[in-house]
Amino acid sequence: MENVVGKPVPRVEDARLLMGQGKYIDDIGTPPNTAHIAIVRSAYPHASIQSIQIEKALEVPGVKGIITGKDVVQYLNPFSVGVSAPVKYYPIAVDKVRYVGEPVAVVIAKNRYIAEDAAELVKVKYETLEAIVDIEKSMEDDAPLLHENVGSNIANHRSFHYGDAHSAFKNADRIIKHTFNFPKYSATPVETYGIIAQYESSSDQYTINANFHGPFVIQAVMAGALKIPSNRLRIIVPKDIGGSYGIKAGTFPYMVLCAIASRIAGCPVKWIEDRQEHLSASSSGTDRVTYIEAAVQEDGKVLGLKMKMIDNVGAYIRAPEPACLYRTHANTTGAYDIPNLMVDGYIVMTNKLPTGLIRGYGGQELYFPLERIMQMIAHELQLDPADVIRRNLIKTEKFPYHTASGGIYDSGDYEKGFELALATGKYTEFREKQEKARKEGKIFGVGLACIVEPSGSNMGYITIALTPEERAASLPKSGCAEAATISMDPMGNVNVRISTTPSGQGHETVAAQIVADVLQIPREQINVVAELDTATSAWSIASGSYSSRFASLGSSAVYYAAHKVKEKILKIAAHHLQTKEDDLVIESAIIRSKSDPSKKYSMKRAAGSAHWNPLSLPDGMQPGIYETYYYTATIAEPPDENDLINSSITYGFVADMVTVEIDPETAEVKILDYFTIHDAGKLLNPLIVDGQIYGGLVHGLGGALYEELAYDDKGQFLTGSFMDYLCPTAPEIPNITIKHIETPSPVTPLGAKGLGEGNTMSAPVAIANAVSDALTPYNIMIDSLPLSPTKIWQLLQSSKVKTT
Amino acid sequence: MGTHSIKLTINGKHYVEEVESRILLSDFIRENCGLTGTHVGCEHGVCGACTVIVNGTAVRSCLMFAVQTDGEEIQTVEGLSQDGELTPLQQNFKECHGLQCGFCTPGILMSAQDYLAKNPEPSTQELKEMLSGHLCRCTGYDGILKAIQKTVDENKQLALTEGS
């Protein structure tokens, strides 16, 4: 039987999704007495709650109850947070509101229409307070304060020094620096949040169905907030999730809110978020200000970097934040060999929607200043940007490469990848074309970006937010464990249970491919179950779908679990055939002896023996075939006393070249061509791989050109519909060319690395570099996003050089 | 709230239901009729996930009331394939990886089905413009365009073969 790992086989998920038989959260059945929820939300960014009048709303026929923060708080602890600042975050406002959209009251009614009718009759009296949304102003002493008990809007601050940055900056020919602003944007899956929650008083247990996909460390956070033992919070994730891109990790405050609503109302409750709620009050990416300084030699070699990064986590810091700042800590110096590094990291809270995971998480915020400064270095030294990148890329012979901040880049050939990008995009020819176009009054530009794509997060990295002394006071965290269970039923058919909560990434397909290869059975015969149930699945604190961890970790758990099954099957066969296990080979579901081909035994019979005739098994062997494997990579150690941390397991590489033309009349940026080269180790399914890359790239394109969760300077939210929050649609997509090189990872058994987030990290800066390059004759320097026609137009108008 | 009695056909099956005048067609299809293949993504007519075919025209079921479809004939995604066999369009979505999470897919299938019935030989640009009424955040639209283009090409080939 031909192996299928590495082949572009179509997906097993597709048939049900194409026929309307997907089972998303809003499609699964509810108990007969389920009530529906509508949430009354704050219209103000910052205000104290004076009173909430619910009497009129309670009179609406069909209303079962209305609850406010004061009713809820008695059942809850604040959510625990990953920093030492005593921020009290509840899923509903208690005394004051801190962002537009924050829940204030919950209406529980017979159906959603009635709940919404009644929600309109709830009258909340506020006393407005001055709001703050500007990152740097929020740090000033006289800034409006969000959390009085914290005493400052700064939730966390840490400084790091690796190598000898002082000498690097002293010995440099030049210091090149700039300040960059990365915007707040989102991911907007087409399916919004959805929850069914049920409280059972007899066992004091909450059961919650939700399209929440982890990380499952948040299960413990939720149980802590609900004041119950963690095994009294059962979370069931449906097999189909309608997209997430990280955003649905933020579902958890609403899971807790619905859980309490069910308890108070005395019936199961269901809540499906609407689009305005999703945009204003679900979760989002993190906006960041970065002050970056590079110590450089005249030849473009970077000797050291200083970065002051200030992340705005919105009104409350909530798990897994401040991870946006630290997920990329090991790869802060990107694809470059820069041994000297200083990082000054701040987390601030302002009157905006709280943040969380989003595709690329931390990568786009990191690479925007890093890759922009590389281009600035070239500009200031009058070098070709491609040469500056070449001078600094990590050399192929240096792998595995140890980064300044503790990362271990497992494998790669960055020089080959980058040269392939330039050759594919015909870089030199484009430069000639650009020169000619400029003479004709056209505005052409080319942008480059080289980035390292981390995948499979180390559970220990978030503790870098604490000082070594603070960390020493609690138990260390490490690893990146993921589990899979494979069973064979009495008829020899295979079920695979995974805990990686996919939301469209095709985990069922790839798991079936892996098991098919290991057990040598057709993948069509393998049933993969992706529902996760914290009461019955094998899962770990790290489980879930984030940090592109399936290809590196989930697949490894499946691979080793399949090997456990294979081992048992071979033991049974060897026992019956009176031979040794290493004499046996599986071919098309038949086990044969290599030394005596007449000796054979079917897989079906081996499995059957384990169920029907356990007394025939080798001595001491357990009946049945049901094997679970928990996998972790051993290189995921806790941070050490010098704050060195290998924050991810595998590190892929992406080299982008993008060409743009800007219309001088409308200031619209048109992408002419986008070339992207990926090295994600061994590819498990190239069809799915390219699908992930297209999706990630277009999300990055949205971040570069269209998407922003915009607030005015008083904190009012401006982008509450898809008419205001612009997502890329089909006509906006440029020509995209994807190429791969495959440098296998030595860390994972299949040689695979995670992917799918790389271009979300690289595209915003690659496009910004192209636009900046295009506008060089006008002395325009891009340092913020998105690059809307309005923004470019204003820059062109204020430019001193005429646009003729 | 007053109710109305409506009679309509969905995927060839007759439905007689009492509905409030304010019930959206999308909610009616999902909740009253149990056809959960039609998805709701924005409820303001932008994302296109809820698209169904009413009397031969693709419409957003979140922008219509159920009462407006009294006497009408509706097709939803559940009505595309017959006896578990995918239609050529559905099959091409599978082969070209035109879906990932699959949430936007039913709406896109319904729009494409309606569009191709009326425009058998569209250009790529026309297909992109047709698709601009749908949001997909997984695929970057590449697999979707390839799947629809492949269907167009196959239909053309079929027409040639039948004509010769």
Instruction: Write the pLDDT tens digit of every residue in A213-268.
Output: 999 999 999 999 999 999 999 999 999 999 999 999 999 999 999 999 999 999 99
pLDDT digits (tens, 9 = 90+) for A345-401: 999 999 999 999 999 999 999 999 999 999 999 999 999 999 999 999 999 999 999
Q: What is the pLDDT of residue A803?
A: 45
For A589, the domain range is: 481-631
Last residue of a domain, one of A608, A631, A654: A631
For residue A140, being part of any structural domain is answered with no
- pLDDT beyond 90 at B162: no
Two tokens, residue A726: 């612009």
Which positions 540-569 of A are in contact with B (Cβ < 8 Å)? none
For residues A53-58, give the mean pLDDT.
Answer: 98
| Residue A10 Cα, gap to closest chain B Cα (Å) | 6
For residue A661, being part of any structural domain is answered with yes
Considering chain B, what percentage of its residues have pLDDT values greater than 90?
93
Q: Does B80 reach chain A within 8 Å, measured CB to CB? A: yes
| A710 contacts A721 by C-beta, under 8 angstroms | no
Two tokens, residue A13: 């998920």
Which positions 58-117 of A are in contact with B (Cβ < 8 Å)? 113
Q: Does A694 reach chain B within 8 Å, measured CB to CB? A: yes
The fold for domain B88-163 equals DNA polymerase; domain 1 (1.10.150)
Give contacts of A241 with chain B, Cβ < 8 Å: 101
Examine the domain organization and report whether A51 and A192 are in the same domain: yes
Domain count, chain A: 3
- pLDDT beyond 70 at A63: yes
Domain B3-79: CATH superfamily is: Beta-grasp domain (3.10.20.30)
Which positions 13-52 of B are in contact with A (Cβ < 8 Å)? 20, 22-23, 30, 35-44, 46-47, 49
| A91 contacts A256 by C-beta, under 8 angstroms | yes
Last residue of a domain, one of A603, A631, A659: A631
- Residue A605 maps to which CATH number? 3.30.365.10
For residue A447, being part of any structural domain is answered with yes
- pLDDT beyond 80 at A800: no
ipTM confidence: 0.98
B contact test, residue of A729, A733, A737, A738 with most B CBs within 10 A = A729
On average, the pLDDT of chain A sits at 97
Two tokens, residue A655: 């080299």
Q: What is the pLDDT of residue A321?
A: 96
For residues A592 and A584, what is the distance between their CA atoms, to the nearest angstrom?
A: 5
The shortest CB-CB distance from A191 to any of B77, B103, B132 is to B103
Examine the domain organization and report whether A785 and A695 are in the same domain: yes
Examine the domain organization and report whether A267 and A359 are in the same domain: no
Examine the domain organization and report whether A454 and A488 are in the same domain: no
For residue A233, being part of any structural domain is answered with yes
Considering chain A, what percentage of its residues have pLDDT values greater than 90?
98
Examine the domain organization and report whether A28 and A106 are in the same domain: yes
In the sheet with A154-162, reading across from the earlier edge strand, the strands are A154-162, A340-348, A302-312, A287-296, A174-182
Considering chain A, what percentage of its residues have pLDDT values greater than 70?
99
Burial classification of residue B56, based on how many CB atoms lie within 10 Å of its CB (0-12 exposed, 13-18 middle, 19 or more buried)? exposed
Last residue of a domain, one of A631, A656, A689: A631
Q: What is the pLDDT of residue B2?
A: 86
For residue A560, being part of any structural domain is answered with yes
pLDDT digits (tens, 9 = 90+) for A423-444: 999 999 999 999 999 999 999 9
Examine the domain organization and report whether A434 and A565 are in the same domain: no
For residue A493, being part of any structural domain is answered with yes
The structural domains of chain B, with segments of one domain joined by +, span: 3-79, 88-163
| A226 contacts A206 by C-beta, under 8 angstroms | yes
Contact assignment for A191 to B100 by CB distance below 8 Å = no
Q: What is the pLDDT of residue A804?
A: 45
Give contacts of B43 with chain A, Cβ < 8 Å: 274-275
DSSP letter string, A684-738: S-HHHHHHHHHHHHHHHHHHHHT----B-TTS-B---STTTSPPP-GGG--EEEE
In the sheet with B57-60, reading across from the earlier edge strand, the strands are B13-20, B3-10, B73-75, B51-54, B57-60
For residues A692-703, give the mean pLDDT.
Answer: 98
- Using the CB atoms, write b or e for A679-709: b if 16+ within 10 Å: bbbbbbbbbbbbbbbbbbbbbbbbbbbbbbb
Contact assignment for A243 to B86 by CB distance below 8 Å = no
pLDDT digits (tens, 9 = 90+) for A404-422: 999 999 999 999 999 999 9
| Residue A30 Cα, gap to closest chain B Cα (Å) | 12
Closest Cα in chain B to A759: B140
- Decide the pairing of beta strands A35-41 and A269-272: parallel
Selection from A577, A639, A632, A635 nearest residue A602 by Cα: A577
Selection from A235, A234, A221, A212 nearest residue A318 by Cα: A221
Examine the domain organization and report whether A715 and A752 are in the same domain: yes
Examine the domain organization and report whether A298 and A377 are in the same domain: yes
| B86 contacts B62 by C-beta, under 8 angstroms | no
Examine the domain organization and report whether A444 and A492 are in the same domain: no
Selection from A256, A754, A285, A282 nearest residue A547 by Cα: A754
DSSP letter string, A292-324: EEEEE-TTS-EEEEEEEEEEE-TTS--TTTTHH
Examine the domain organization and report whether A627 and A642 are in the same domain: no
Examine the domain organization and report whether A505 and A546 are in the same domain: yes
Which positions 749-788 of A are in contact with B (Cβ < 8 Å)? none
For residues A519 and A563, what is the distance between their CA atoms, to the nearest angstrom?
A: 8
The shortest CB-CB distance from B97 to any of A187, A687, A729 is to A687
Two tokens, residue A385: 């940007």
Q: Does A721 reach chain B within 8 Å, measured CB to CB? A: yes
For residues A483 and A628, what is the distance between their CA atoms, to the nearest angstrom?
A: 7
For residue A161, being part of any structural domain is answered with no
For residues A480 and A647, what is the distance between their CA atoms, to the nearest angstrom?
A: 10
Q: Which residues pair with A601 in a beta bridge?
A: A591
For residues A558 and A563, what is the distance between their CA atoms, to the nearest angstrom?
A: 9
Give contacts of A275 with chain B, Cβ < 8 Å: 41-44, 47
- pLDDT beyond 50 at A326: yes
| A695 contacts A756 by C-beta, under 8 angstroms | yes
Examine the domain organization and report whether A224 and A371 are in the same domain: no
Two tokens, residue A286: 């993190």
Q: Does A191 reach chain B within 8 Å, measured CB to CB? A: yes
